[in-house]
Amino acid sequence: MEMLSFTISNLWMMVCIVLVFIMHLGFAMLEIGLTRSKNTINILFKNMAVIIIGLLAYTFMGFGMMYSGPQGGIFHFGGFGLRIPLNAGTPQYNPYYTFWTDFLFQAMFAATAASIVSGAVAERIKLSAFLWFSFLYVTLIYPVVGYWHWGKGWLSGIGFHDFAGSTIIHSVGGWAALIGILFLGPRIGKYNGKVSTIEGHSIPLATMGVLLLWFGWFGFNGGSVLSADPGKVSKVLVITTLSATSGVVGAFFSSYLLFRTYDITMVINGILAGLVGITAGADIMGVTDALVVGLISGILVVLAIVGIDRLKIDDPVGAVPVHMVCGLWGTLAVGIFGEKAGLKQLFTQIVGIFSVGIFCALGACVIFIALRKFIGLRVSEKEEHEGLDINEHSMRAYPDFRANQH
């Protein structure tokens, strides 16, 4: 019976790995849909690259840094490469999954943190700069923060709660996205005396991308139960879904009040806002909690999109509002709603938010400064006008419609 339970839980975790992997296709479709056709290949290349980079970086050093350190610590270097235990494939490693399943599930999360940055810096960053940033960030920054909480480091010791990564994944990526935007500056033509709309070339692709992300989130949050416990998994999936739907309601009505139109891009971001917002507390929230957290997430993402545009922070896909703003809100919500609500928990969540934010922002700054000095960050004005596809990849995504690319 013990072996059967182990096999079922391990199988569920492997299914969740596949679902999280599919999220990368969702990110790719969302980003190419919300950007111009002349940069499609470049974005597809980056989104495939972060999977490879994430897996290699996590194998090279990340997994050991996150999960082999002492409890309550701040930093731990676990050595290079994977240290495979003798009981890697047995219940003695963990009653619910093998070492191999554990590694691959966590590696998919690491790659996700890097993919968040891709859309925010789209259409003007050098491919080489993005690839180097992704490798260094996943190797040196993400594993440290992951160790603080999921690796039983100091954040875990003070009672910080982040079930599936509103802070540890989404705000980690969101802070890097914000720093990247500030270093690169806006796209040409975005702010010429006023805020100009640079339309994406395929809303159908963007919509398909969001639905794929929602689909993958069942593995993202459902797998974070770290077993196939039927009660816990089914509840997490319901809470996650309700928050996403409530996020749509918040984004829909707030955007309509602001713009007097039915903006599907705001609805798209409302789905993601609700998903990101509930990710920290999906295991300890009730139905009403999930609906409120999602509703506020949807409102916040619209206000943040409008706000950063007024500050002339050019984020083509809304990565900062979705992943940083809603990630921070979702982390705070753990101290306001659900089983752990209270002033002490709220203070602990705030400590975690500031600690992770400062570390990630400073780390991203150091990496971007180094890359700017040694290889440069931004493509030339000519390359940006012509598109990154033809200049960095010598091909076009839509050669039969060349005249219509812009």
Residue pLDDT, tens place only, 39-85: 999 999 999 999 999 999 999 889 999 998 788 889 888 788 888 88
CB atoms under 10 Å from CB of 230, counted, come to 11
How high is the pLDDT of residue 400?
A: 74
pLDDT surpassing 60 at residue 163: yes
Average pLDDT over residues 265-286: 97
How high is the pLDDT of residue 77?
A: 85
How many whole angstroms separate alpha carbon 106 and alpha carbon 100? 10
- CB neighbours of 356 closer than 8 A, spacing ≥ 6? 145, 148, 155, 167, 168, 171, 172, 175
For 326-360, the pLDDT digits (tens) are: 999 999 999 999 999 999 999 999 999 999 999 99
One-letter amino acid of 257: L
How high is the pLDDT of residue 178?
A: 97
Average pLDDT over residues 86-110: 93
CB atoms under 10 Å from CB of 346, counted, come to 16
As given in the structure block, the two tokens for residue 397 are 């995504």
Least confident of 10-14, 223-227, 400-404: 400-404
How many whole angstroms separate alpha carbon 139 and alpha carbon 145? 11
As given in the structure block, the two tokens for residue 10 are 């391990």
Virtual torsion, Cα 308, 330, 52, 63, nearest 10 deg: 130
CB atoms under 10 Å from CB of 186, counted, come to 19
Average pLDDT, the chain: 94
pLDDT surpassing 90 at residue 154: yes
User: Three-class SS of residue 389?
Assistant: helix
One-letter amino acid of 392: E
What residues form DSSP beta bridges with 191? Answer: 195
pLDDT surpassing 70 at residue 404: no
Q: Are 210 and 272 in contact (CB under 8 A)?
A: yes
For 167-197, the pLDDT digits (tens) are: 999 999 999 999 999 999 999 999 987 888 8
Q: Where does the pLDDT of residue 401 fall: very low under 50, low under 70, confident under 90, or very high at 90 and above?
A: low
For 111-131, the pLDDT digits (tens) are: 998 899 999 999 999 999 999
- Residue (of 225, 251, 226, 250) closest to 238 by Cα position: 225
pLDDT surpassing 60 at residue 406: no
pTM (2 d.p.): 0.94
> Cα-flanking dihedrals φ and ψ of residue 195, to 5°?
-80, 115
Q: Are 204 and 33 in contact (CB under 8 A)?
A: yes
How many whole angstroms separate alpha carbon 377 and alpha carbon 181? 11
- Residue (of 117, 87, 113) closest to 102 by Cα position: 87
pLDDT surpassing 90 at residue 303: yes
As given in the structure block, the two tokens for residue 40 are 């499609």
How high is the pLDDT of residue 403?
A: 47
> Cα-flanking dihedrals φ and ψ of residue 398, to 5°?
-130, 70
For 37-46, the pLDDT digits (tens) are: 999 999 999 9
Q: Where does the pLDDT of residue 402 fall: very low under 50, low under 70, confident under 90, or very high at 90 and above?
A: low
Residue boundaries of the structural domains of the chain: 2-404
- First vs last C-alpha separation in the chain: 61
Which pairs count as long-range contacts for 338-346, CB under 8 Å and 24+ apart, including other chains? Answer: 338/281, 338/284, 338/285, 338/286, 338/289, 339/284, 339/285, 340/161, 340/281, 340/284, 344/159, 345/159, 345/161
CATH architecture under which domain 2-404 falls: Orthogonal Bundle (1.10)
pLDDT surpassing 50 at residue 165: yes
